[in-house]
Amino acid sequence: MPRAIYVLALGIFALVTSEFVVAGLMPQMAEGLDATVPEIGYLITAFAMAMAFGGPVLTVALLRMRQKQALMLLFAISFAGNVLAATAPAYEVMLAARIVTGVASQAFFGVSLSICAQLTRPEARGRAMSVAMNGLMLGTLLGLPLATLIGAHLGWRAAFWVIAGLTVVAALCTLVGVPPVEHAEGSGSFRQELAVFRRPGLWLALSTSTFIIGATFSAFSYFNPILTEVTGFGTGTVPLLLVAYGGATVIGNFVVGRLADRYTLRVLLCGLVLNAFFLAGFALLAHVPVPAVGFMLGIGLVGVTMNPAMAARVQRAGNARPLVNTIHSSFITLGIIIGSSAGGVAIDAFGLRAPLWIGVSMAAIGVGTLVPELLRRPSPGPAEPSRVVRHARQDDQNVPVHSEVA
């Protein structure tokens, strides 16, 4: 595996930590910005909306830029957003800072995954994605708790300063450790970039990702109140359980990365079915501590860990360029928005177990989005031969690819 993939994982870790930091600092930020806790919660929503809708726009603006240069520019934007957050004198400034950082974060995912695809052989791309996505898993496992710890002892502004410093470190490592990559594989005009979205299979793949992540986040967003109010754990125990959940995501991501290239559809199908099972089990036995924790860890093993297989499927249905990857990340973010918001509405109507049943429903719909491709080819292998492909598909040929390959 090229060293550059691990460097890209560090960049993703820095940006994911920035994404999640507000969730761990709500009370302190509410006091410091003279806002209510729900208003601070809106900062999370604003970040997600900026990712979903602003990220693709910024990616389009970067299409003609060399990809390493694009990464450095995105690091600079993210750094500026975190510095603005650390120095924000008022809620409105903080809101602007989160929007800026959210847009940069989404575009960064798209460019990073495109570089991963270019630096590895086609049959090893799923594994490369899993290595890069370890930055996402470790951001959940370590980044959020560390930022919360720093905020508790040094103040919430210090947490943003630390993240800004981490962003600089990741940028310097990228400058040294990621080889020059010209433009994305087969990149062309904006019209050529959009042409791939005429493929129905790509839209099915994107929608599958939305339902996989939506099913997971309908539950994950409400783990804390479910574990305390239904299962009966103390508030001091829940962070430890969430760390264990993060550890499960790291393990699941490793396993999925090993299987994603050869068994993409099977992995996604098994992941969705198992996730529905774990969500239903959690809903039925949330009041019993041992099985409740077991089912929660199961969700960690087969939820967001589907990312490498999701990315492999989307890239085969479309391509491995930044715009497709960024749009894919937007569909993932849409799943987070739908799952968490639907879960909140369900709680108001039916109680704290309701988000878990929402997750079961979304996982079932996700299985439905796999059916057309499963009927066509139930056991797809790698879509490309075991060599470097120097040209894109038929509709984008004659555009050379400049890349280093592992």
State which of 185, 206, 233 marks the end of a domain: 185
Calculate mean pLDDT across residues 258-269: 92
Tell me how many domains the chain contains. Answer: 2
The structure tokens 């433009």 sit at 183
CA distances to 40, 282, 347, 360 from 223, in Å: 19, 11, 12, 15
Task: Indicate whether 386 belongs to any domain.
Answer: no
Buried-exposed string 243-282: b where 16+ CB fall within 10 A, e elsewhere? eebbbbbbebbbebbebbbebbbbbbbbbbebbbbbbbbb
Q: What CATH number is associated with residue 350? A: 1.20.1250.20
What pLDDT does residue 189 have? 58
- Same domain (yes/no): 52, 129: yes
Task: Indicate whether 389 belongs to any domain.
Answer: no
Task: Indicate whether 144 belongs to any domain.
Answer: yes
- Same domain (yes/no): 168, 296: no
Task: Indicate whether 391 belongs to any domain.
Answer: no
- Same domain (yes/no): 28, 121: yes
- Same domain (yes/no): 270, 369: yes
- Same domain (yes/no): 337, 206: yes
Q: What is the pLDDT of residues 77-113, one digit of tens each?
A: 999 999 999 999 999 999 999 999 999 998 898 888 8
CA distances to 28, 208, 213, 344, 359 from 340, in Å: 23, 17, 10, 6, 10
- Same domain (yes/no): 137, 111: yes
State which of 138, 153, 185 marks the end of a domain: 185
Buried-exposed string 46-71: b where 16+ CB fall within 10 A, e elsewhere? bbbbbbbebbbebbbebbebebbebb
- Same domain (yes/no): 321, 377: yes
Measured between alpha carbons, how far is 296 from 93 in angstroms, rounded to an integer?
37
Measured between alpha carbons, how far is 208 from 235 in angstroms, rounded to an integer?
34
What pLDDT does residue 62 have? 83
- Same domain (yes/no): 14, 145: yes
- Same domain (yes/no): 34, 172: yes
Task: Indicate whether 390 belongs to any domain.
Answer: no
Instruction: Please give the backbone phi and psi of residue 117, each rounded to the nearest 5 degrees, phi first.
Output: -65, -35
- Same domain (yes/no): 170, 192: no
Task: Indicate whether 400 belongs to any domain.
Answer: no
- Same domain (yes/no): 195, 337: yes
Q: What is the pLDDT of residues 11-35, one digit of tens each?
A: 989 888 888 788 778 778 888 999 8
Task: Indicate whether 396 belongs to any domain.
Answer: no
- Same domain (yes/no): 91, 211: no
Range of the domain at 311: 188-381
What pLDDT does residue 1 have? 73
pLDDT > 90 fraction of the chain, expressed in percent and rounded? 40
Task: Indicate whether 322 belongs to any domain.
Answer: yes
